[in-house]
Amino acid sequence: MSAQDDCIFCRIAAGEIPSDFLYEDDLVVAFPDISPLAPVHVLVVPKEHYENIMDDVPAETLSALAHAIGIVAEKTGIDKTGFRCIANTGDDGGQTVHHLHIHVLGGRPLDPNAGEGK
């Protein structure tokens, strides 16, 4: 899918809205969540617009997302202490930005019973 002018994450990924990328490659970018819920709260986002994980995301993009999560964890120093990845999907999932993104949260013990990432 092509970039959508009215999509905030398309615009961030395209560099139209300034953000501090922690990681970037041909397929994905990673940048800090604007309202962090943990000491580390990074969003890993495909550059192409996909609504969410149900949107026929190519395998190479899924692979790039997984690769980027590992890099982000190492760069932010949570690779050894642990972290949580969340992809809120659709209405019941509480998705508010309708461009696929993976929350990467860490830097403190996360409540195993809480849906942190929202």
Residues interacting with ligand AMP, by CB under 6 A? 8, 33-35, 43, 88, 94-97, 118
Q: 83-86 and 40-46 as β-strands: parallel, antiparallel, unpaired? A: unpaired
Query: Measured from the CB atom, is 37 or 62 closer to ligand AMP?
Result: 37
Part in contact with Zn ion (CB under 5 A); list of ranges 16-24, 33-41, 45-53, 71-79 = 45-53
Tell me if residue 101 is catalytic. Answer: yes
Query: Measured from the CB atom, is 76 or 95 closer to ligand AMP?
Result: 95
Contact indicator for 40, 78 with CB cutoff of 8 Å: yes
- Within 8 A by CB and 6+ apart from 48, the residues are 1, 2, 3, 27, 61
Q: Minimum distance from CB of 88 to Zn ion (Å)?
A: 15
Alpha helices in 1-118 (DSSP H): 8-13, 59-76, 90-93
Burial of 6 (0-12, 13-18, 19+ CB in 10 A): exposed
If DSSP codes are grouped into helix, strand and coil, which group holds residue 116? coil
Binding partner selected for residue 96 from ligand AMP, Zn ion, none, CB under the kind-specific 5 to 8 Å limit: ligand AMP
Using the rule CB under 5 A, is 49 a contact of Zn ion?
Answer: yes
Residues that bind Zn ion (CB under 5 A): 4, 7, 9-10, 49, 99
Q: Catalytic amino acids?
A: 101
